Amino acid sequence: MKTTYDCIPCFIRQALDAARLATSDEKIHEQVLRGVLAAASKMNLDQSPPVMGQYIHKLIRELSGHDDPYKKIKDRFNNFALKLYPDLQQRIKTSSNPMDTAIRMAIAGNIIDFGVNAKIDNSIIFDTIEQAMSVQLFGNIDILCDSIDTAKNILYLGDNCGEIVFDRLLIEQLPVHKVTFVVRGGPIINDATMADARETGMTELVTVMDNGSNVPGTVLEKCSKEFRECFAHADLIIAKGQGNYETLSSCEKNIFFLLKAKCQVISGHMGCEPGSFIVKRSS
Amino acid sequence: MKTTYDCIPCFIRQALDAARLATSDEKIHEQVLRGVLAAASKMNLDQSPPVMGQYIHKLIRELSGHDDPYKKIKDRFNNFALKLYPDLQQRIKTSSNPMDTAIRMAIAGNIIDFGVNAKIDNSIIFDTIEQAMSVQLFGNIDILCDSIDTAKNILYLGDNCGEIVFDRLLIEQLPVHKVTFVVRGGPIINDATMADARETGMTELVTVMDNGSNVPGTVLEKCSKEFRECFAHADLIIAKGQGNYETLSSCEKNIFFLLKAKCQVISGHMGCEPGSFIVKRSS
């Protein structure tokens, strides 16, 4: 999807939040703001929003001198989700429909998105899990389950740290030998990278690869050749989160987008209510 | 007060809302956005926020070809407030402390501010009036009442349309022969101009002058010589709204700011909770 006008004020707000998170130096906050404002004034709106996200966070890394400003946040939410993991796994195992419960759990995990909201606490995660268990999903879980049953190889595009543990809970319900889990090629916001896949046990469960790019989404032209080949050969792609939806919504592959709609631009584009829990097949 | 970093994303959001209000032409929405982004990237942050407000709305007027995009909104809220006027006037007259009630009413009227919020409906105005009647005010009404008793001439700096009717209710409780009411020198957002003072009966009640400037606040250097002289000679200034606070908060005059704190930058600067009803003397 293209960048909408409504994305622009949100970019500026995100840039300021992220700059404050990276450093307490107010001069750098100002440099980031001025840089992002100037870039946004000339930006190509045909690009998807994560391309600007990549620019913003590159600028913050350069100006602040921090290679990975979200490292502490990423560790914190990986550890928090790992603590929840045994109970959530038990809940899935003992539920009347483990696949349905695991899919809902994976969507709930998408709330841990620091690109949209710089203030996420544990209570919002608990609330989102409970909501996800009973809410009417936007989309159709049954079609996804059918696709899983018939798929020869499944590419699972991860999104954020913490969330990756919720993805693991779902992947445990899939035919793991057919699954490849994908992380970003480098640090960007709180998105999961190879280090996070290792820390959260994902590498012991399935094959994990990185996509060779640090866009907070999946812009194929910016990804590695190796990833693009895997992507081309997959007959089922499960894509987590807003960034993957924003960058792949027009892609002609068998993609199921699993996410929580956390902004009005996304819910408007998908045709659902803001806050919806989504399992939507590419059209 | 100076422009804070938190004002910047808000400017961009306001510019988009205002552009959409002025025209349905999406090309102009984009031109406004790009223009405001470029200007904000180079702006002097020592200026108060209304200076950027003036720039944004000048750009929108020029690009949309509308001299006064808020004309319909201004008329609507003047008429709505005039319909409420007899009942509100009765409520003040029959209250145990008419001056206190009238001051609270005038602060409540400040909710009609399209600079902060492009979506104001009648119900929020009713709710704000009821809140204002009983809420603990931030500041001290008694000191204002004492100042009114001893003042030789009172300059009352108006703010928005609709709100001007609430100002009239307060001014009816003041020694009207000592009061001069001030409107903006030209259309800007939904701020009251001389035409609105006439439509709402203010010109029949007290002397009304315009300040010679269409900044949505009071930047003295940009105001007319005549207004600056009145300002210099006034021994009590009642300044309504965020824009007047933002531009006059450092001014060394006997100013009472009457407003509702509608954004966190203002409440943070004043040291009160967001949403507070304020009657604060200049320090």
In order, the DSSP letters of chain B are -PPPTTHHHHHHHHHHHHHHHH-S-HHHHHHHHHHHHHHHHT--TTS-HHHHHHHHHHHHHHHH--S-TTHHHHHHHHHHHHHHHHHHHHHHHTSS-HHHHHHHHHHHHTT--TTT-S---HHHHHHHHHHHHHSPPEE-HHHHHHHHHH-S-EEEE--BTTHHHHHHHHHTTS-GGGEEEEE-SS--TTB--HHHHHHTTHHHHSEEEE-S--SSS--GGGS-HHHHHHHHH-SEEEEEHHHHHHHHTT--S-EEEEEE--SHHHHHHHTS-TT-EEEEE--
pLDDT in tens, A79-117: 999 999 999 999 999 999 999 999 999 999 999 998 888
Instruction: Give the whole-angstrom CA distance, residue B205 versus residue B178.
Output: 11
Interface of A with B (CB under 8 A): 5-6, 8-10, 12-13, 16, 26, 29-30, 33-35, 37-38, 40-42, 45
Q: HEC states along A113-124?
A: CCCCCCCCCHHH
Relative to beta strand B255-260, strand B236-240 is parallel
In 3-state terms, what secondary structure has residue A139? strand
Cβ pair A33:B6 closer than 8 A:
no
- Going by C-beta distance under 8 Å and a sequence separation of 6 or more, which residues neighbour residue A58? A214
Position A54 confidence tier, pLDDT thresholds 50, 70, 90: very high
In 3-state terms, what secondary structure has residue A199? helix
Which chain A residues contact residue B29 at CB under 8 A? 5
Question: Which site among A8, A10, A11, A59 would you substitute to test the B interface, given the most B Cβ atoms closer than 10 Å to its Cβ?
Answer: A8
CA distances from B93 to A42, B86, B107, B160, B210 (A): 57, 11, 17, 24, 30
Instruction: Give the whole-angstrom CA distance, residue B154 versus residue B178.
Output: 6
pLDDT in tens, A115-150: 888 788 999 999 999 999 999 999 989 999 999 999
- Give A121→chain B minimum CA distance, Å: 21
- Give A179→chain B minimum CA distance, Å: 41
Question: Which site among B7, B11, B12, B28 would you substitute to test the A interface, given the most A Cβ atoms closer than 10 Å to its Cβ?
Answer: B12
CA distances from A45 to A12, A219, B34 (A): 15, 15, 11
What is the per-residue pLDDT for B116? 82
Tell me which residue in A10, A30, A35 faces B5 most closely, judged by beta carbons: A30
| DSSP summary character for residue A177 | G
Which chain A residues contact residue B16 at CB under 8 A? 5-6, 8-9
What is the per-residue pLDDT for A115? 83
Q: Could you tell me which of A154, A142, A158, A141 has the C-alpha nearest to residue A104?
A: A141
Which chain A residues contact residue B31 at CB under 8 A? none
Instruction: Give the whole-angstrom CA distance, residue A48 versus residue B83.
Output: 48
- Give A14→chain B minimum CA distance, Å: 9
Percent above pLDDT 70 for chain A = 100
Tell me which residue in A37, A42, A45 faces B40 most closely, judged by beta carbons: A37
Instruction: Find, in chain A, the residue whose alpha carbon is nearest to that of B19.
Output: A5
B127: left (phi over 0), alpha (psi -120 to 50) or beta: alpha
* pLDDT tens digit at each of 283 positions of chain B: 999 999 999 999 999 999 999 999 999 999 999 999 999 999 999 999 999 999 999 999 999 999 999 999 999 999 999 999 999 999 999 999 999 999 999 999 999 998 888 788 899 999 999 999 999 999 989 999 999 999 999 999 999 999 999 999 999 999 999 999 999 999 999 999 999 999 999 999 999 999 999 999 999 999 999 999 999 999 999 999 999 999 999 999 999 999 999 999 999 999 999 999 999 999 8
Tell me which residue in B12, B29, B38 faces A12 most closely, judged by beta carbons: B12
Pair of tokens at residue B266? 């203002």
What is the per-residue pLDDT for B117? 81
Instruction: Give the whole-angstrom CA distance, residue B245 versus residue B1.
Output: 8
Instruction: Give the whole-angstrom CA distance, residue B262 versus residue A237.
Output: 45
Interface of B with A (CB under 8 A): 5-6, 8-10, 12-13, 16, 26, 29-30, 33-35, 37-38, 40-42, 45
- Going by C-beta distance under 8 Å and a sequence separation of 6 or more, which residues neighbour residue A205? A168, A171, A172, A176, A181
Tell me which residue in B5, B29, B45 faces A5 most closely, judged by beta carbons: B29
Which chain A residues contact residue B6 at CB under 8 A? 16
Cβ pair A37:B8 closer than 8 A:
yes
In 3-state terms, what secondary structure has residue A216? coil
Residue whose entry in the numeric block shows the structure tokens 């010589």? B225
Q: Are A105 and A129 in contact (CB under 8 A)?
A: yes
What is the per-residue pLDDT for A117? 81
pLDDT in tens, A236-255: 999 999 999 999 999 999 99
Would you say residue A283 has pLDDT above 90? no
Position A202 confidence tier, pLDDT thresholds 50, 70, 90: very high
Cβ pair A12:B16 closer than 8 A:
no
Cβ pair A8:B37 closer than 8 A:
yes
Residue whose entry in the numeric block shows the structure tokens 């209510």? A273
**Whether ipTM exceeds 0.85:** yes
Would you say residue A32 has pLDDT above 90? yes
Q: Where are the beta strands (DSSP E) in chain A?
A: 138-139, 154-157, 179-183, 207-210, 236-240, 255-260, 277-281
Q: Are B112 and B118 in contact (CB under 8 A)?
A: no
What is the per-residue pLDDT for A197? 98
Cβ neighbours of B199 (radius 10 Å): 19
| DSSP summary character for residue A112 | -
Tell me which residue in A5, A26, A41 faces B38 most closely, judged by beta carbons: A41
pLDDT in tens, A13-31: 999 999 999 999 999 999 9
